[in-house]
A = this chain, B = another copy of it.
Amino acid sequence: MNKIPVGILGATGMVGQRFVQLLEGHPWFEVSQVLASERSAGQPYGAACHWLLPTPMPAAAQGLPVKAISPDTAAKLDCRLLFSALPGKEARPVEENYAQAGYAVCSNASAHRMDADAPLLIPEVNAAHTRLIDVQRRGRGWPGFIVTNANCSTTALAIVLRPLQDAFGLRRLSVVTMQAISGAGYPGVASLDILGNVIPYIDGEEEKVESEPLKLLGKFDQAAIQPADFRISAQCNRVPVLNGHTECLSLEFEQPADPSTVIEALETFSAGEPVAGLPSTPARPVIVRREPDSPQPARDVETQRGMAVLVGRVRPCPLFDIKLVLLGHNTVRGAAGGAIHNAELLLAQGYLES
């Protein structure tokens, strides 16, 4: 079949580069448009972009001319699907502009995540939330629409919470993160701030981790999401790691749970159709490690091309029920890969047809 042309908003940044990388050889999509600020416009992508990834820039992307993001360009792209890697502040008006002009926008930005009519989507977690798209289009009168993926720390967390919520009911959870520098974009974290250091603060991150999972695990009911009813406390830290957010969890459930039943729930978790058939869906969304010192970002982050979440050290908690450690790839599963995964779901559900 012919591949579907797609565009990338903010294509030269850290997450934009991940889109370009992950879409190379994608079975359904191919990058036809790269968009960035005025400053880069007109240059070939290969010249405009300070490539940061350890695999070479895809040959097909190198010659693509960078187009400026502007109201003018909104109506003139040769694609209907856009991935947004824009920073939070710029994203809101730009994405709305493109949705209004008829584009399907799969956004990694935080701008619209908590809008009542915008799906906050992880295919294995809440595929049914795409039904909000119709609510959004009706309400806003747009021919296009905006779908968002979750914050990088939230994404890995929500994938682990989904089967636990289903099996045991969540009551309370504490999460302390140790997040990779790639999550802050480029140039992002100054080396003078992080070499041999821990920064116990990431602006706005704890608020996202404490709120997004409730929407993600909520239920679509009529025209709105009823958020899940549990409580989260988050503490977010930056550590000198390249890729991979590690999270230490302590969980309290409604129903009795012990390490073996929790492991069983995590290991038997799998996506139903159509999610299971999507190109980016990993063989198993959650992989449980038994070694005492796993998972580790430098060793495990690329597992299943960065789309699996790893869990380790499942053990009883003296305060709540269970403690565990999880690891997710922040710029793949938690950013570009998640947005592509969402677009695959939209295609499978028919939302990308004209």
Contact = CB atoms under 8 A, between A and B. Distances in A.
Interface of A: 14, 51-56, 172-174, 176, 178, 181-182, 186-201, 203, 210, 231-233, 235, 237, 239-242, 246, 248, 250, 292-303, 312-313, 317-320, 323, 325
Contacts of A176: 176, 235, 248
A323 B178 contact: no
A75 to B, nearest CB: 35
A171 to B, nearest CB: 10
Q: How many copies altogether? A: 4
Contact of A293 (B201, B231, B235, B298): B201
A293 to B, nearest CB: 4
A336 B292 CA distance: 29
Contact of A181 (B188, B192, B317): B192
Contacts of A303: 56
Contact of A191 (B51, B235, B240, B325): B240
18 contacts: A14-B192, A51-B299, A52-B192, A53-B299, A54-B299, A176-B248, A178-B239, A187-B187, A189-B190, A195-B195, A200-B248, A200-B296, A201-B313, A232-B319, A233-B323, A235-B250, A237-B246, A242-B298
Given A318-B231, A318-B232, A174 B250 contact: yes
Contacts of A186: 190, 192
Given A188-B190, A240-B191, A200 B312 contact: yes
A197 B297 contact: yes
Contact of A199 (B14, B199, B296): B296
A174 B319 contact: yes
A186 B182 CA distance: 19
Contacts of A312: 200
A194 B191 contact: yes
A257 to B, nearest CB: 15
A107 B299 CA distance: 27
Nearest to A292: B201
Contact of A320 (B54, B189, B233, B294): B233
Contacts of A198: 178, 239, 241, 246, 296-297
A195 B319 contact: no
A239 B197 CA distance: 9
A199 B325 CA distance: 10
Contacts of A298: 54, 195-197, 242
A229 to B, nearest CB: 13
B210 A318 contact: yes
A323 B300 CA distance: 30
A102 B259 CA distance: 49
A190 B187 contact: yes
Q: Which 10 A-B pairs have the closest CB atoms?
A: A187-B190, A197-B298, A176-B176, A201-B293, A235-B248, A233-B319, A200-B325, A191-B191, A189-B191, A233-B318
